[in-house]
A and B are shown apart, each in its own frame.
Chain A
Amino acid sequence: MFNQFKSFKTSEALRGPLHGLNDLNVLNILNERLCGANNMVEIQGVSKSFHKTVKDNTTEIKALSDVSLSVRENEFVSIIGPSGCGKTTLLKMIDGLIPYDSGKIVINGKQVTAPGPDRAVVFQSFALLPWRTVLANVEFSLELRQLPKEERAKTARDYLKRVGLADFENHYPHELSGGMQQRAGLARALAVNPAILLMDEPFGAVDAQTRQLLQEELLELWQRERKTVIFITHSMDEAVYLSDRVVVMTPRPGKVAEILDVPLPRPRVSEEVRRDGKFVDLTNYIWESLKHAMENHH
Chain B
Amino acid sequence: MNSRFGSNVLSILSLAILWEVVGRMMDSTLIPPLSKIGAAWWKLLSSGKLLANLGMSLTTLAMGFLLAVFVGVVLGLLMGRFRAVEHFLDLYVNALMSAPTTAFVPVLILWFGLGVESRIAVVFLFAVFVIIINTMTGVKQVDGVLVEMARSFGAKEREIFFKIILPAALPAIMAGLRLGIGRAVKGMVTAEMLLTLTGIGAMIMQYGSAFATDSLFAVILTILLVALVTMKGVQWLDRRLTGWKAEIAIE
Contacts and interface: CB of A to CB of B under 8 A. Distances in A.
B150 A130 contact: no
Contact of A123 (B145, B159, B167, B242): B145
Given A123-B145, A140-B163, A144-B159, A130 B248 contact: yes
A227 to B, nearest CB: 16
Nearest to B241: A131
A249 interface: no
Nearest to A145: B154
A115 interface: yes
Contact of A144 (B143, B153, B168, B251): B153
Interface string B233-248: 0000000001011011
A284 B209 CA distance: 90
A144 B143 CA distance: 19
A97 B148 contact: yes
22 contacts: A92-B148, A97-B151, A115-B151, A119-B152, A121-B152, A127-B143, A127-B145, A127-B149, A129-B168, A130-B244, A131-B170, A140-B150, A140-B153, A141-B153, A143-B163, A144-B150, A144-B153, A144-B159, A172-B244, A174-B247, A175-B247, A192-B153
Contacts, number: 58
A117 B247 CA distance: 34
A72 B159 CA distance: 33
Contacts of B245: 130-131
Interface in A37-84: none
Contacts of B159: 144
Interface in A110-133: 115-117, 119-121, 123, 125, 127, 129-131
Interface residues on B, range: 20 to 34
B145 A115 contact: no
Interface of A: 92, 95, 97, 115-117, 119-121, 123, 125, 127, 129-131, 140-141, 143-145, 172, 174-175, 192
A81 B150 CA distance: 27
B225 interface: no
Contacts of A174: 244, 247-248, 251
B247 A123 contact: no
B223 interface: no
Contacts of A141: 153
Contacts of B145: 123, 125, 127
Nearest to A175: B247
Given A115-B152, A145-B154, A129 B248 contact: no
B30 interface: no
Given A97-B148, A123-B145, A174-B251, A131 B244 contact: yes
Nearest to B171: A131
Nearest to B155: A144
A92 B147 CA distance: 13
Contacts of B151: 97, 115
B218 interface: no
Interface string B197-219: 00000000000000000000000
A97 B147 CA distance: 11
Contacts of A144: 150, 153-155, 159
Contact of B149 (A116, A121, A172, A192): A121
Nearest to B243: A131
B164 interface: yes
Nearest to A188: B153
B146 interface: yes
Q: Which 3 A-B pairs have the closest CB atoms?
A: A127-B149, A141-B153, A131-B244
B146 A129 contact: yes
Nearest to A198: B152
A7 B247 CA distance: 52
Max chain B Cβ within 10 angstroms of own Cβ: one of A123, A129, A175: A129
